[in-house]
Amino acid sequence: MIMGSVILFSFSQPVYAFGDGEDEGDNGSQVSDVAADNSDTANVDVLGPFGGNVWNIAIDTDADMVYVTAKDSPNGIYRSADGGATWEGIEGGFDYGQGIAVDVDATAGDVYALFTNGLYVSTDQGATYTQVAEVYGSSLLVGSEAILIGSTDSDSPGVISRSTDNGTTFSDVTVTSDDQYFYTIAEGPTTGLIYAVGFDSDDATHLYRSTNSGSSWSEVTIPSITGTSNGSTIAVDPTDADHLILTGGYDGTSYQSTNAGSSWTSITPQSQEAAFDSSGRIFIGGQYSDDGSTWTSMGMDENDNSTAIGGHALLVDPNDQDTIYADGMPGLSKSTDRGVSWTDINEGIAGVTMTDISQANDKDIVWAAAYNGLAKTENFTSGNPTWEFPVLPDPCSAIWVEPVDAQIVVVGELGALKRSTDGGETWSEDLVSGLIESSMNVNEIIADVDTPTTLYAAVGNGNPSLPKTGMVIKSTDSGATWEDMEITDNASGQTLSQSGDGSIYVGLGAEGGTENVAGIYKYSDGSWSFLENSPDEEIVKVLVDPQDDNSVYAVASIAYGNDNTGNFGFYKSTDAGANWTKITENLDRLSEFNSLALQESTTPSTLYLGAVNYYGQGELYKSSDAGDTWGLLYTGLKEETFYTMIFDGVTAGTSRGLFDIKSKASLTLKLGSKKIKKNKKAALTLTLKDAVTDKALKNKHVMLFKKKGKKFVKIQTLTTKKSGKVSIKLRVKKVGKTQFKARWKPAGIQAEEYTTSNSSVKKLTVKKKKKS
């Protein structure tokens, strides 16, 4: 058993297309090896970038397999058979929830994975998983004598679940009577020796030791460590059971003990994760030491980030102390020279949580903000974009690219705004230092509808423990300098949109039913006014319809830690925000609303809504009538959230990266009669509708095929009418069976919304005409 911290992902299934040629056989062709789940209503493809927040790493030294989990990513466990050069996830068709931890049974080689759905085991090196127990927790250890899980059951805090029969049954062992949870469990080199790190309700760190494989526990006295946000971990020297390292998180003091915790000495490095190699060398963050007193910096990763080394996950290969795995930006890094140099190894790990997307007029240029940093591609429309990631290594919350001059980019971070005028090669220092507080997020950046060099940014407090205040700021020089627009009551700006007449709508990031101001403000004619009838809830997205200044849409969600007020949902105003209507039809199965995108190329505008259903699955809805009615476009995985969307197709940013989501059309071919006489005319009717909203697709060119020999050959192109239908009569001279089918291959702007649709094959029997 070798364990550290991990990465999360969901395995994908291939996508198949009918083919592009007009003269073709019946077989489809595989067009993608890496794709997302697909349905009858949507075609979904993975766009990347690859990586994620790696929080657990495990190695099967006998099989040369490496396993990782990525925090916040659904189905988030990956395996690699080539030392991390490539990764693969769980096959499609399974939904286990968020990946939490992974470990390997050193004797049997079985892989145990802890998901939010419970504990699963794989007996085929991670190819398939079977649930073995409905045990829920935050940490996992497959020890030599027992399996231990740090319980997250709020009804029984202070408990570690223990199994001695390979996970078939578990019993709860009370470690402490205090209200504590355990995020780290580590095994020592002597039989039965295990340590667990607990965190109480005041975020104070506690350390416990067991000498009988977790059957009983005693607390170890440690220095006071507080405020780490569950970030302390314990590491045990594999060469000396008395040698311990206890970390204090990113900003706290770390400690060393050489007498099994009887006394502790502070050490220099600050980080969350620590590890020993097989000779006793200590690794913490970006430093190492052979004695705990003299520390040497390791090399940078590929992106010149020392912080990328061991923030959450750090593991040394026990068979090769030169090989080290560590989490970082943009995900996982590997060193094969004992930490001197590092290489990013993320190909195939879909665990990047996206927060914002911006696209230039040149649609190949797309920037994406993520928890793991800033990403850029210059071949977005290729279908397989190549990403530079991370361009900036800090967590990013908002992004704007100048539509015409894509060299100008403005990015929002926690407490900061930065700007590049050379496509990301160099960046300014913080442009809003002293203007916004360090605890505030820059949540969204938009350009003025008439003056593209004027920008507006919504800013709000991102710390849930602090009052929900914020501001709206403005730049008149493409983001080079900024000023406060002095929104009333320093309201927490979370999202904003501008109408054609210049009015700005600002959705507030505060909870409804609290002392903080929730709902929507409007800025018009130089002054702010609160829209009294706006939803009394956190507004995660507001959009003005570009075709109608009076039509404004809002998405209200349940804010962090807030009780359900019943006000969350999708809202529409048809009088410029004076009054609002909550639309509930077909949306009543949703428990959380997250994002909204608008497609301008249709009349009325087409809307896309990201949400979560009561089963915890991410869902995407579509409306063809400006939000009055909705249809389900796509159902994702448990724990998957649609955080951000733009329309180019639909490009959705989730906790699995970016996805291209195209609607499917329903194309039906109907024969007037299945049997006709020779030289009579066969009546055929084609109907083309949106498979989600049932909208009739008019003026679309549909190809009709007839089978000749072994191939279908196009015989005519027909144009659908207002009803989405078109009829034709064909004279058939040949006696026997004739087969027809139809295809609609969208072009231009239609190809951004829809994928190619094919009808089923219809068979017509032609009989000889009876002689009179």
Residue 512 lies in a domain: no
β strands within 201-337, DSSP E: 205-210, 218-220, 234-236, 244-246, 254-257, 265-267, 274-276, 282-284, 287-289, 296-297, 314-316, 324-327, 332-335
Residue 530 lies in a domain: no
- Name the pLDDT band for 310 (thresholds 50, 70, 90): low
Which of 344, 359, 377 terminates a domain? The answer is 344
Residue 763 lies in a domain: yes
**Omega before residue 467 within 30° of 0, cis:** no
Question: Residue range 359-384: average pLDDT?
Answer: 94
Question: Residue range 561-588: average pLDDT?
Answer: 87
Structure tokens given for 165: 């029969």
Residue 477 lies in a domain: no
- What's the pLDDT at 358? 97
- What's the pLDDT at 211? 97
- What's the pLDDT at 11? 27
The lowest-confidence range among 520-534, 557-571, 620-634, 685-699 is 557-571
- Phi, psi torsion values for 381, nearest 5 degrees: -80, 0
Pairwise CA distance, residues 59 & 404, whole Å: 48
Residue 298 lies in a domain: yes
Q: Is the confidence at residue 512, as pLDDT, over 90?
A: no
The lowest-confidence range among 425-429, 508-512, 630-634, 743-747 is 508-512
- What's the pLDDT at 34? 34
CATH of the domain at 295: 2.130.10.10
- Identify the CA nearest to 172 among candidates 190, 150, 194: 150
Pairwise CA distance, residues 102 & 139, whole Å: 9
How many Cβ atoms are within 10 Å of 589's Cβ, its own excluded? 11
DSSP, collapsed to helix, strand or coil, labels residue 264 as: coil
Residue 134 lies in a domain: yes
- Please state, rounded to an integer, the average pLDDT across all residues of the chain: 89
- What's the pLDDT at 3? 35
Kindly report, residue by residue over 313-345, the tens digit of the pLDDT.
Answer: 889 999 999 999 998 778 899 999 999 988 999
**If residue 351 lies in a helix (H) or strand (E), which one and from where to where?**
strand 350-351
Place of tokens 């809002």: 554
The lowest-confidence range among 133-147, 304-318, 484-498, 564-578 is 304-318
Q: What percent of the chain has pLDDT over 70?
A: 91
- Identify the CA nearest to 287 among candidates 233, 329, 326: 326
Q: Is the confidence at residue 424, as pLDDT, over 50?
A: yes
How many Cβ atoms are within 10 Å of 173's Cβ, its own excluded? 18
The lowest-confidence range among 67-71, 216-220, 704-708 is 67-71
Q: What percent of the chain has pLDDT over 90?
A: 71
Residue 517 lies in a domain: no
Which of 294, 326, 344 terminates a domain? The answer is 344
Kindly report, residue by residue over 224-283, the tens digit of the pLDDT.
Answer: 998 877 788 999 999 999 999 999 887 788 999 999 999 999 998 888 889 999 999 999
Decide which of 627 and 156 is more confident: 627
Pairwise CA distance, residues 580 & 573, whole Å: 5
Pairwise CA distance, residues 584 & 571, whole Å: 9
- Name the pLDDT band for 464 (thresholds 50, 70, 90): low
Residues 6 or more apart whose CB falls under 8 angstroms from that of 674 comprise: 763, 764, 765
Q: Is the confidence at residue 36, as pLDDT, over 70?
A: no
Q: Is the confidence at residue 735, as pLDDT, over 90?
A: no
What DSSP state is assigned to residue 480? S
Structure tokens given for 340: 């001197």
- What's the pLDDT at 562? 46
- What's the pLDDT at 456? 98
Question: Residue range 493-502: average pLDDT?
Answer: 96
Q: Domain total for the chain? A: 2
- Phi, psi torsion values for 280, nearest 5 degrees: 95, 5
- What's the pLDDT at 301? 61
Residues 6 or more apart whose CB falls under 8 angstroms from that of 526 comprise: none
Domain ranges, residue 759:
665-767
- What's the pLDDT at 30? 25
Q: Is the confidence at residue 398, as pLDDT, over 50?
A: yes
- What's the pLDDT at 347? 92
- What's the pLDDT at 5? 25
The lowest-confidence range among 24-28, 120-124, 452-456 is 24-28
Kindly report, residue by residue over 200-223, the tens digit of the pLDDT.
Answer: 988 899 999 999 999 999 999 999
Residues 6 or more apart whose CB falls under 8 angstroms from that of 98 comprise: 8, 71, 72, 73, 74, 76, 115, 116, 638, 639
**If residue 753 lies in a helix (H) or strand (E), which one and from where to where?**
helix 749-753
Q: Give bridge partners of residue 198 from the DSSP assignment.
A: 182, 206
- Identify the CA nearest to 247 among candidates 212, 215, 276: 276
Question: Residue range 569-576: average pLDDT?
Answer: 98
Question: What pTM was computed for the model?
Answer: 0.88
Which of 327, 344, 361 terminates a domain? The answer is 344
Residue 597 lies in a domain: no
Question: Residue range 24-51: average pLDDT?
Answer: 60
CATH of the domain at 691: 2.60.40.10
The lowest-confidence range among 68-77, 115-124, 610-619, 622-631 is 68-77
- Name the pLDDT band for 511 (thresholds 50, 70, 90): low
- Identify the CA nearest to 494 among candidates 442, 530, 455, 446: 442
Place of tokens 């796509």: 634
**If residue 752 lies in a helix (H) or strand (E), which one and from where to where?**
helix 749-753
